[in-house]
Amino acid sequence: MFEQLKTLPQDPILGLMKAFREDPRTDKVDLGVGVYRDEAGQTPIMTAVQAAERRLLGTETTKAYIGPAGAEGFNQLIGQLMLGAGHSALSDGRATVVQTPGGCGALRMAAEFLKLCRPDTTVWISTPTWANHIPLLGGAGLTIREYPYLDRTTLSVDFDAMISCLEQADSGDVVLLHGCCHNPSGADLDADQWAAITDLIERKGLLPFIDMAYQGLGEGLEQDAQGVRLMAERLPEVIVASSCSKNFGLYRERTGALMLIAATPAQGKAAASQLLSAIRSHYSMPPSHGAAVVELILDSPELAHQWQTELGAMCDRILDLRAAFSKALAPAGDFSFIERQRGMFSFLGITPQQVQILREEFGIYMLDSSRINIAGLSAATLPCVSEAIREVSGRTA
């Protein structure tokens, strides 16, 4: 049977990682891989996480399964982190939260749930979007349509084009939105735009599906959740996929959550039963360790304060890098969009040929689309990276 299979092309990001590892230059710079890096170029374990793990190892008494829904305490606390402890969707009993294997697990289980709700579900996805959105959702059998999101000239949200396109959506269609820190562009909706898209979704009877992968790394935990909280307050049904990979640094622990908000508690209970059935037929139970760590942190005032302080410092570092990078690139043109954007990612707006020159001549690695991880820069590398980009930008592509 296997002899009929053909080798698939390598994932671009994995290929870039391999090329970077094999590059012998000592001054090479990796701006491609989408993980947070500190000034030393490391992806550190947060101090609050280390403290929680020590407590967990000293108190954990079993490795028994935790059930398809995951840890009840984690689910309650992560729901409060997303919506705020006093949000009406929580107090009214309309919200159900389940633990998932990372944000990817949340996205895929949401897709499987939507397939159960309506087999011919259409999901509208932004152009551009995170590369794995379409495989995760389309792989469940959902119909994928795309709406314009980024103005390639200004590298800002093309909101008029977005709204105009979504006016074509039919009642019951699903709209996938990035809660904050849009990946890969860094261009986020502002408060007025969130209100306008909420109006459109309410008027047309659409279902918002929000990917909340970077809460706390844009402008702060509360600010980054404003769009999610607005929609959860105003709309009868909302789906939110959340990840602890970035804001807790738990990349390899695969810790995420999926929230379903229904119009009534009774509808929420029915929806939860269908979701749990889908989970049972896919991976059965989520992993425990990462969620136990997050639960310990959020349930301890001391650890929660420590974590928020660390996360705030990470957010501030990214904002500072954006301002410094934008200023350093200014002689080569208008790169002010970098400072206006949020989160770890931005497009530089240079050509694939210029990206290749940066890789070959300067050892600076980024995706061919010119998407870079801002957190991959440091005070030491930013000047040389900026100088190389200024030089290459001045060449004829």
Its domain, for residue 151, covers: 65-299
Both 212 and 127 in one domain: the answer is yes
Among 299, 325, 359, give the residue marking a domain's end: 299
Structure confidence by residue, pLDDT tens digits, 316-369? 999 999 999 999 999 999 999 999 999 999 999 999 999 999 999 999 999 999
Assign residue 343 the CATH number of its domain.
3.90.1150.10
Both 121 and 225 in one domain: the answer is yes
> Which of 21, 40, 11, 28 has its CA nearest to residue 358?
28
Both 111 and 230 in one domain: the answer is yes
Residue 9's pLDDT is 87
Of 30, 48, 69, 130, the catalytic one is: 130
Both 94 and 226 in one domain: the answer is yes
Structure confidence by residue, pLDDT tens digits, 69-111? 999 999 999 999 999 999 999 999 999 999 999 999 999 999 9
Of 158, 246, 291, 375, the catalytic one is: 246
Among 282, 299, 316, give the residue marking a domain's end: 299
Q: Answer yes or no: are the C-beta atoms of 342 and 332 closer than 8 Å.
A: no
Q: Answer yes or no: are the C-beta atoms of 258 and 238 closer than 8 Å.
A: no
Question: Is position 246 annotated as part of the catalytic site?
Answer: yes
CA distance 273 to 269: 6
Q: Answer yes or no: are the C-beta atoms of 388 and 394 closer than 8 Å.
A: no
Of 95, 187, 213, 257, the catalytic one is: 213
Residue 396's pLDDT is 59
Determine, yes or no, domain membership for 54.
no
Both 135 and 205 in one domain: the answer is yes
Name the token pair of 306.
Answer: 């420590």
Question: Is position 71 annotated as part of the catalytic site?
Answer: no
Q: Distances in Å between the alpha carbon of 144 and those of 125, 130, 137, 174? A: 7, 14, 8, 10
Question: How many structural domains does the chain have?
Answer: 2
Name the token pair of 39.
Answer: 């000034």
Q: Distances in Å between the alpha carbon of 110 and those of 70, 104, 152? A: 16, 10, 30
Question: Is position 375 annotated as part of the catalytic site?
Answer: no
- Which residue spans within the chain are E strands per DSSP? 29-30, 95-101, 122-127, 143-148, 150-151, 156-157, 174-178, 207-212, 238-243, 255-261, 345-347, 364-365, 371-373
List the single range of 12-16, 33-37, 164-168 with lowest mean pLDDT: 12-16
Would the pLDDT of 397 be above 60?
A: no
8-state DSSP, 40: T
Determine, yes or no, domain membership for 36.
yes
Among 299, 324, 344, give the residue marking a domain's end: 299
For residue 112, give the amino acid letter.
E
Determine, yes or no, domain membership for 3.
no
> Which of 137, 101, 103 has its CA nearest to residue 121?
137
Helix and strand numbers, DSSP H then E, in the chain: 16, 13
Residue 146's pLDDT is 98
Question: Is position 27 annotated as part of the catalytic site?
Answer: no
In this prediction the pTM is 0.95
Assign residue 88 the CATH number of its domain.
3.40.640.10
Both 259 and 169 in one domain: the answer is yes
Determine, yes or no, domain membership for 58.
no
Of 211, 241, 278, 375, the catalytic one is: 211
Residue 13's pLDDT is 84
Residue 11's pLDDT is 83
Determine, yes or no, domain membership for 2.
no
